[in-house]
A = this chain, B = another copy of it.
């Protein structure tokens, strides 16, 4: 929820425009799914988005949320984040960035850092394929899990 209002607006705008320009209809349901995914920086899964959207569109169905997110991902407007086992999670931040992943609770936060952006694929990787992006995952224990551990001891 820490995404600045201006950035949320920009994302909703970009997403809405791109849907229209792809000849797709901007339905009430799609708009609300777009709003929800744009406003979150917690890399929510489909169920979480579904529950949030249902507050405003009580009749929306889970499979519409699945379909909308698949559509958006297909257009490259949101990204599937595969950093933890379990349900697929989505990220509306399509700029190049990195992630902190809590191995205990599954929390994922974006990490923006010039130093990490500068990491380049080694030459040896060329034998595997063409590298299109380099993403760094910082794996560890988040502050919340540390706090819980201290409190429970």
Q: Which residues of A contact B (CB under 8 A)?
A: 80, 82-85, 88, 100, 102-103, 109, 111, 113, 115-116, 119, 121-122, 124-125, 127-143, 145-146
Contacts and interface: CB of A to CB of B under 8 A. Distances in A.
Contacts of A129: 100, 102, 140-143, 145-146
B103 A128 contact: no
A143 to B, nearest CB: 5
How many copies of this chain are found per oligomer? Answer: 2
Given A129-B102, A129-B141, A139-B135, A88 B85 contact: yes
Given A133-B140, A134-B139, A135-B139, 6 more contacts: A80-B85, A100-B128, A103-B132, A111-B124, A134-B136, A136-B137
Nearest to A124: B113
29 contacts: A100-B125, A100-B128, A111-B124, A111-B125, A113-B125, A116-B119, A119-B136, A128-B142, A129-B140, A129-B142, A129-B145, A129-B146, A130-B146, A131-B138, A131-B139, A131-B140, A132-B139, A132-B141, A133-B138, A133-B139, A134-B136, A134-B137, A134-B139, A135-B136, A135-B137, A135-B139, A136-B136, A136-B137, A137-B137
